[in-house]
Structures are given as structure tokens and as C-alpha cells.
Amino acid sequence: MVLSHGPEETDLTQPITLRGADSNCLKADFWEGEGDYLAILLHGGGQTRHSWRRATAALLSRGYAVLSYDARGHGDSEWIADGDYRYQAHGEDLRHICDGFAASKRIVLIGASMGGMAALYAAGHSKAHIAALVLVDIVPWPVQAGADSILAFMKAHGEGFESHADALQAVGQAFPDRQSGGNVARIARNLRKRENGRFYWHWDPRLLDHQGLAEAIVAEGWVERATSTFLGPTLVLKGAISDVIDEQGIARLRCEMPQLESRSIPGAGHMIVGDNNDAFNDAVAAFLDAHLDSAFPT
């Protein structure tokens, strides 16, 4: 297994390969830390592991080992033959990975949107020591209208794009209020060129059958077990201008997880890590410092 060391190497281009619950290939980056804590970073639907680069550097600087991977059907990871992209399937992949570290690491799960639901599932089902859980702008009961707007964008442009610049323009038109902007190089990492010469988003289109539906999350039947089983420190980070979760959903989760804390990230929408990364890193650091001993060996 290829490892890299240090925050200066967070642009690692040679991934390692993990196996998910169905023996599916998951492309990942891993950085060894100085102690026995491992932070596993789970991206949102339609994103890739590369969305965590600055968060990775911040965690490495605090002594954490870091693992981030492309979820099934995303990025460089394998597309699933039967199209199973339920939240539970993503959670089972993560549970399988966590169980592999059960003997050696105390694990912190940090998941955005879809990745947050996978993290919640694994926290309640893994035999590993899950030391803390951070849900990034997601609860099991999202605001339907906000979730639907993201789903609509992901379903658009099924015909692909003529160029990277065209894709960047489409993102700008769909999300004109985003503060973080974008560039062609960043967009290029999220596109794949097919034989017809056009560029398509990196994800398996079949995953959209399982995204953004609050009813689907609850219908899978695992939420109650996860929220009642995991008793460790739990944080919800809400984008201050996000339309995907609201205070009602956070309050409902707190009823099931009394240990739940929440913080609002100023100036951020649903894409907190991209919209206000410094505030995100500070909030995560403060939460972990308050509940966990130092990641550095004593």
C-alpha cells in the first residue's frame, strides 16, 4: 500500500485501492498520522475525495492519520453492476473499512451530505471504536426543496459537455451565489471524456435514483438503530445559508441523539467545505479538541 506523509503532499496523485462491502474497488488516499486516531473523510454525492484536500492538511497538522476515498460509483471508484447506491450500501462500504482498522485505530468520521449518511450508518453498525462523528450539512430529514434542487442539477446535462469551460459555465449558472467560485482545472477533475469526445460528470448516473430523498433515507430502516446505538460525541455543521437542512431537522436528530452539538458556518451554503473552509476546519478542530485527547503520542 502506497502511503504519503505530510500536509505538503495532499495533492497525491497515486491512489491506493480499498475493498467495499461487495468487494468493489474504492480508490483512496491515505496519510499516516503520529498517533492512533484516524479521520475518515466522506464526500457528498457527485463529489470526489479531492474535495477534502485542505481539511486533510489541517487534520494532518494536528496529528491525525487521514483516509479519504471516492464512494462507490464516484470518481475513480468502481461502478456497481446492479446499481445499488442506497445510503445503506455506502454505509456498508464504510463499515467494512472501519472494521478493518478496529484493532489499530480510534476513528473519527467526517461526512458531507451523502457521506454524512454513510458515516451515521457506520457509526451505529461498525465494531470499530468510532471516537466522534461530524455530519456536514446533513441530517436524516433534509429540506426536500433544497435537496431536490441539487438533484435536478445532477440530473441535468445528461448529454455531456463540449468542453471543460462549458461545464464550468453550467455550474456557475446553477449556483450563482456560491462564494468560492471555480476554475477549469478543478472542473476537469470531475469530468470524464468518452469515446464521442464529449465530457461527462464522473459519477454513475444510476446513483441519482437514490440521492436527495428524505423518504428514501428513512425507508431504508437503519436510522433509528444508528442514532440509538452510537452514543459518542456528535456534531452537525450547518451552512448558514444552506437550504438543505434546517433547525427543525437538527432538533429532531437531537431528540434521538441527546449528545448532538451543532454549529452554523457563516457565509456557507450546502457546500460548506468549499464555501468557508477555514471556518469548517476551525469548527472541527474545536469539537475534536473538546472531546478527544490529543492525536499526538505522549
- Of the pLDDT bands very low, low, confident and very high (cuts 50, 70, 90), residue 4 is very low
Buried b / exposed e across 11-27, counting CB within 10 Å, b at 16+?
A: ebeebbebebbeebebb
Mean of pLDDT over the chain: 89
Domain 7-143+214-291 matching CATH 3.40.640.10: the answer reads: no
Residue among 121, 133, 150 nearest 236 (CA): 133
The pLDDT of residue 111 is above 50? yes
Rounded distance, CA 192 to CA 41, Å? Answer: 23
pLDDT tens digit string along 185-198?
A: 888 889 999 999 99
What pLDDT sits at residue 214?
A: 61
Q: Which residue has the higher pLDDT, 298 or 177?
A: 177
How many C-beta atoms surround the C-beta of residue 186 within 10 A?
A: 16
Cell numbers representing residue 290 in the block: 473538546
Q: Which residue has the higher pLDDT, 59 or 177?
A: 59
Mean pLDDT across 83-97? 96
Mean pLDDT across 228-243? 97
DSSP one-letter code for 78: P
Question: What pTM did the predictor assign?
Answer: 0.91
Rounded distance, CA 109 to CA 119, Å? Answer: 6
Question: Regarding beta strands 129-136 and 106-112, do their DSSP bridges make them parallel or antiparallel, or are they unpaired?
Answer: parallel
What pLDDT sits at residue 1?
A: 24
Residue among 80, 287, 105, 124 nearest 220 (CA): 124
Cell numbers representing residue 191 in the block: 469530468
Q: Which residue has the higher pLDDT, 110 or 6?
A: 110
Rounded distance, CA 108 to CA 65, Å? Answer: 10
What pLDDT sits at residue 3?
A: 31
Rounded distance, CA 171 to CA 106, Å? Answer: 38
Question: Regarding beta strands 234-239 and 25-31, do their DSSP bridges make them parallel or antiparallel, or are they unpaired?
Answer: unpaired
The pLDDT of residue 176 is above 80? no
- Of the pLDDT bands very low, low, confident and very high (cuts 50, 70, 90), residue 177 is low
Rounded distance, CA 251 to CA 135, Å? Answer: 14
pLDDT tens digit string along 117-166?
A: 999 999 999 999 999 999 999 999 999 899 888 888 888 998 999 999 99
pLDDT tens digit string along 18-38?
A: 999 999 999 999 999 988 999
